[in-house]
């Protein structure tokens, strides 16, 4: 699906998967933004310090949408005058024309949320085992962090395979799988299957940031989320999730929640409602419309 006034940083039309986060965002903008066709929306996904070439495009209502990239080092101050407004994931600026919007899921998550009684797994984590997550692997397996770190340093593949197997063996009824890097493990469809069948989804921080795709995918599918402390963003305010300071205590909280079926049910339903109201592509679009109308 393409829109004539939605382009990439190089000027090409952007194609969206139907039901994806950014498709929902643009669709809502088209439906609800006055004079939608008068704007030029530019999607830019570079993680580094390279300035977008679209800053040189001539257009009176040019809007930049910076996708993903928790390592993004773009200097918004240096390009803010080149756009009517900038909306970015992971934005940490108080500039009056640069705004933070939700990250959204990675790709398309079209599964209908299951009832908790239909879910196969009590707790799940399926993702990259980076340095920030060694503590989580230790909490799940009861193997000291120092041994896991040594294993990752000298025999990474075997260590990941052992931890994945041992975690599932030690915690029957749950699913744990540790990948070597982002998007380098199970395929997307199987990942969505695991999340959709999990009562509790463990969402540790990524390489540098507590905002992760897994958090959004889990909320959309009605998982009870246990995560690191979230940053101060308008869209996380009063999120119905369990935020933790460390993963030894965090994993124990997840185990305790399993003994509280009514609380699990409440948090699951609240997660879906919160996602639709605050974290979805439609919610991001409404925020963008609000800011653009003020401009």
Work out the pLDDT band at 182, boundaries 50, 70, 90: low
Q: Per-residue b/e over 52-72, b at no fewer than 16 CB within 10 Å?
A: bebbeeeeebbbbbbbbbbeb
Where does 116-279 sit in CATH, by number?
Answer: 3.40.50.2000
Predicted confidence at residue 291, as pLDDT, reads 94
- DSSP β-ladder status, 98-100 and 121-128: unpaired
Tens digit of pLDDT for each residue in 89-128? 887 767 778 899 999 998 667 678 999 999 999 999 998 8
Which residues are CB-neighbours of 181 under 8 A, at least 6 positions away? Answer: 128
DSSP 195-221: HHTEEEEEE---SS-S--HHHHHHHHT
Query: By CB neighbour count within 10 A (0-12 exposed, 13-18 middle, 19+ buried), where does 37 fall?
Result: exposed
Domain spans of the chain, in order of start: 6-102+281-294, 116-279
Each residue's pLDDT tens digit, 193-216 = 999 999 999 999 988 788 899 999
- The strand order across the sheet containing 62-66 reads 6-8, 40-44, 62-66, 85-88, 98-100
């Amino acid at each position: 699906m393409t829109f004539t006034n939605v382009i990439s940083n190089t000027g090409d039309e952007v194609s969206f998967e139907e039901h994806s986060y950014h498709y929902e965002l643009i669709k809502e903008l088209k439906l609800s933004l006055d004079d939608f066709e008068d704007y030029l929306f530019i999607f830019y996904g570079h993680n580094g310090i390279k300035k977008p070439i679209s800053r040189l495009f001539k257009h009176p209502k040019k809007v930049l949408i910076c996708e993903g990239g928790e390592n993004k080092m773009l200097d918004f101050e240096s390009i803010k005058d080149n756009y009517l407004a900038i909306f970015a994931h992971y934005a940490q600026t108080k500039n009056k024309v640069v705004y933070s919007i939700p990250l959204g899921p990675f790709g398309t998550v079209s599964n209908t949320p299951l009832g908790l009684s239909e879910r196969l797994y009590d707790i799940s984590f399926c993702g990259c085992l980076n340095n920030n997550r060694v503590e989580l692997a230790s909490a799940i397996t009861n193997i000291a962090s120092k041994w896991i770190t040594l294993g990752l340093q000298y025999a990474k593949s075997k260590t990941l395979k052992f931890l994945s197997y041992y975690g599932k063996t030690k915690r029957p009824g749950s699913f744990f799988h540790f990948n070597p890097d982002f998007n380098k493990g199970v395929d997307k469809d199987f990942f969505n299957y695991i999340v959709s069948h999990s009562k509790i989804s463990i969402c540790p921080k990524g390489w540098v940031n507590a905002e992760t795709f897994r958090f959004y995918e889990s909320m959309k599918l009605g998982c009870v989320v246990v995560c690191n402390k979230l940053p101060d963003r308008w869209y996380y305010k009063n999120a119905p999730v369990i935020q933790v300071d460390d993963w030894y205590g965090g994993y124990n909280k997840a185990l305790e929640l399993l003994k509280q079926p009514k609380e699990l049910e409440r948090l699951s339903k609240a997660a879906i409602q919160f996602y639709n109201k605050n974290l979805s592509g439609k919610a991001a679009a409404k925020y963008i419309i609000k800011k653009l109308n003020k401009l």
